Structure 1
Amino acid sequence: MATTSTVELRVSVDVGARRHHVAIGLSSGDVLEEFAITHHPEGFAHFFARIETYHQHYPGPVAVAMEGYNGYARPLDQLIQARGYRLYNINNLKLARFKEIFPGAAKTDRLDARKGLELFQLREHLPVAKAVLQEVGVVPAANARLKRLTRRRRRLVNERVRVLNTLQADLQAVCPGLLDLTREVGNQWFLHLLVSADTLPQLTRLRKTTLLNIPCVGRAYARIIQDWQPQAQWSPEVEWVGAMIQEDAQRVLDLDAQIAALETTMHQVAQESTIATTVASLPGFGPICTAELAGEIGTVTRFQQESSLALYLGMATLDNSSGTRHSSKPPKQVNVRAKAAMMIAVDRHRKQIPESQRYYEKKRQQGKSHNQAIRAGHVAARSLPVGQLRRATKLARA
């Protein structure tokens, strides 16, 4: 077999939870080796050692295709990019459609690894095979960090909502009148009140001086609490449920502090992101939505057209027409986190732009839902920063 620098060394990885099956081949179609590695440093070292061995004989470019990019593949995907190899993600949805057109007789991890090499060969001839392999661009460090920070924040926010719902239900069962003190059970002064005593019934015996020493409780709130104390009634289960309520209240306070710290860090990191600074320049795009969009998009170079990014953000639909019927359908491959941030930001954006607000009201009068009117407003007014993102990224690289 001739050694040439024009031959591309190709690697296909079928990613598993604990073991990954690997197939190494050439752009000529030859399969050089097949093996499996464990998801441990030793397995990664063996993986790169085998690639480098063949790379010495075939010193051309190296391309790696992985199924399950950014999932169980971590941190192998990052190590691959750090080596300077071209990384491709095997799109599972489009791979399933490819297998429907070209079904195989059997399915094993070893065959799936070989399938990646076949896709490399067929992508130059079949558009359906080319669509399965999507090259993964290098994501700026700031955007990669924002992705971690914003997803962590979202998990904490969701946990806070769950704990507050439980807290409110327990308070309603133990002492209904206590909830009447506040409009929102998550208010800081109310949470501090719940944890200020050793047990909940002791709240009825707190004096004014003690109340005023509770964080976030001023004279107005102290007066409200004192008016409630003579009328307070507790159910018998307060003996064992009261401690749970206080634990939940303390948990919400801790979550609030963690979320605030994350938001501070997100704001600092966003200053280093081209995408974040570009999006933040638009009216209505706040720091949280901006950070989420920058983290989820990563790099705009992965999108060849503005319409592709709009589909990824869930701000565009696909045609679904036949004959005289004209309709559309939502795309399946939408980043739900980016879509949620985009819907909130665009909604705030149209409230600050009179033209967008008028168009929104027009669509609502035509019978469109709120979400449909928001997306329609984007399409008509071009309020989405898709084009701006691409241009800003090119300018930053220049």
Structure 2
Amino acid sequence: MKLFVGLDVSSFDMKVCVLDQEGTTQDTWTVSNDLPGATMLKQRLLDLVEDTDIHTLKIGLESTSVYSFHPSMYLHHDQELKRYGAQVFVMNPKQIANFKKSYTEMNKTDEIDAFVIADYLRFGRNHMSIVKESQYVALQQLTRARYHLIKSVTREKQHFLQHLSFKCNTFSQEVDSSVFGHAMMELFLERYSLEELAQLPLEALAAFLQEKGRNRFPDPEEVAASIQRAVRSSYRLEKVVEDSLDVLLGSSIEIIRSHQKQIKEIDKTITRLMAGLTQTIQSIPGFGPVFSAGIIAEIGQIDRFEDETKIAKYAGLSWRKHQSGRFTAEDTSLSRQGNQYLRYYLVEAANSVRRQIPEYQEYYQKKYQEVPKHQHKRALVLTARKLVRLVDALLRNHQLFTPERGVKH
């Protein structure tokens, strides 16, 4: 006998619907979304399958952030359910929503949603469980938090540049040095007005940059001169406006530095966890522990995927096909679905790998030259798609990377 259990999970409760292989409803009930509720759910499932010849027991629920995490992990690891071969599937809500469209005139209620999830399982459309083991979950929390911090730093840098353009509109054109370097940021924190910077002796400004830049400027006098050229050619603002921009620049600097400090702490923890995890993709030049962690945390056990094409699709590194009759479009868009975290770490890793491995650099250059627009972005995404094949081979075959043959046992 086959049983399919659909769970519609919210922050408060879980609606349960159990179907057999014919689609007949065996039972429905509601439990709270907490440990006592999950325990009650498990016990009721055990009572249902007791003295029954069960050879398939599938439990499905939608991926709803933290709401689905705890019940899925609880049911996945329960030893009593495992005796009946229970499998837990956490599914993309979009897949369930699309499947539900096949039903006509169906209302939107939690009980009906639980039925649809169970019926989706019954039709066998689920190909893998994305319930991960504890070590992958721990890494995933860290790498996802790091991803959001990186995005926050990027946004804050954009705000910083906008404020800087208001204060000194020619700074970016005149000064050939990163505004996000330590010395430059210290200069902005001093809250000099444009007139003060224009009147500051060149030797004093150069000495300030050299001290704060820890003697890393090859020609501090030239950088100081370019700053003063930018200051003298920029529009002047009213003092009240300039003072407000100084406050905003200082605030952005503090936020950027705070986030960068947090990223470093997370990187240290990731490196520590990766040291105790057996994996092979870190042997790829340019990967390192952080990119490796970001990728394996989202992939989990490689056996969940049939082949590398499934991994690419899961990451959103796939292109939609557009075909009608004898016409097949050559220019198609990248799928906007998929795991954004896995896609981010694969693309970042590809950008690093292409600088280390000639084969990937040649492939990147080839794709870069194929189009006149969005060259870097397109070439990088295609390089990431190529990298998926290597990642899959190393993880699936437990092999290490070697430059001569790509992989080795």
Residue equivalent to 1:109: 110
CA spacing shift, 1:272–1:323, aligned 2, 3 Å: farther
Q: Normalising by structure 2, what TM-score? A: 0.73
- The reply to whether residue 161 of structure 1 matches residue 154 of structure 2 is yes
CA spacing shift, 1:56–1:253, aligned 2, 3 Å: same
1:123-138 counterparts in 2 under 5 A? 123=123, 130-131=124-125, 133-138=126-131
- The reply to whether residue 191 of structure 1 matches residue 185 of structure 2 is yes
- The reply to whether residue 171 of structure 1 matches residue 164 of structure 2 is yes
Residue equivalent to 2:271: 267
Cα RMSD of the aligned pairs, angstroms, is: 4.2
> SS of the residue aligned with 2:38?
helix
Instruction: Give 1:296 deviation, angstroms.
Output: 1.8
How much identity, in percent, do the aligned residues show? 20
> SS of the residue aligned with 1:86?
strand
Instruction: Give 1:9 deviation, angstroms.
Output: 5.0
How far, CA to CA, are the matches of 2:359 and 2:120 in structure 1? 48
- The reply to whether residue 298 of structure 1 matches residue 300 of structure 2 is yes
Stretch of structure 1 that moved more, 42-51 or 160-169: 42-51
Q: Normalising by structure 1, what TM-score? A: 0.75
How far, CA to CA, are the matches of 1:321 and 1:334 in structure 2? 22
Q: Once the two structures are superposed, what CA deviation does each residue of 1:149-194 show, in whole Å capped at 9, x if it has no partner? A: 1211121111112222222322333356887677222212333444
Residue equivalent to 2:396: 390
Residue pair 1:211, 1:222 contacting (<8 A) in 2 also: no
Instruction: Give 1:335 deviation, angstroms.
Output: 2.2
Stretch of structure 1 that moved more, 300-309 or 352-361: 352-361
Residue pair 1:89, 1:134 contacting (<8 A) in 2 also: no
Q: Once the two structures are superposed, what CA deviation does each residue of 1:7-39 show, in whole Å capped at 9, x if it has no partner? A: 455421012344331123555755343223343
Residue pair 2:90, 2:130 contacting (<8 A) in 1 also: no
- Show structure 2 runs of 5+ residues with no match: 80-85, 400-409
1:38-117 counterparts in 2 under 5 A? 38-56=32-50, 58=52, 60=54, 62-68=57-63, 70=65, 72-84=67-79, 85-117=86-118
Instruction: Give 1:331 deviation, angstroms.
Output: 4.3
- Show structure 1 runs of 5+ residues with no match: 1-6, 124-129, 394-398
Amino acid in the other structure paired with 1:23: C
How far, CA to CA, are the matches of 1:269 and 1:224 in structure 2? 45
How far, CA to CA, are the matches of 1:374 and 1:177 in structure 2? 31
CA spacing shift, 1:284–1:33, aligned 2, 3 Å: same
User: What is the aligned counterpart of 1:144 among 125, 137, 142?
Assistant: 137
CA spacing shift, 1:372–1:45, aligned 2, 3 Å: same
Instruction: Give 1:217 deviation, angstroms.
Output: 4.9
Amino acid in the other structure paired with 1:172: S
Count of matched residue pairs: 375
Q: Once the two structures are superposed, what CA deviation does each residue of 1:117-154 show, in whole Å capped at 9, x if it has no partner? A: 33344x2xxxxxx22x3441552433222222121112
CA spacing shift, 1:69–1:249, aligned 2, 3 Å: closer
Stretch of structure 1 that moved more, 13-22 or 358-367: 358-367
User: What is the aligned counterpart of 1:16 among 5, 10, 28?
Assistant: 10
> SS of the residue aligned with 2:7?
strand
Residue equivalent to 2:242: 238
How far, CA to CA, are the matches of 1:374 and 1:248 in structure 2? 30
1:307-386 counterparts in 2 under 5 A? 307-317=309-319, 319-327=321-329, 329=332, 330-331=334-335, 333-363=337-367, 367=371, 384-386=390-392
Stretch of structure 1 that moved more, 109-118 or 96-105: 96-105
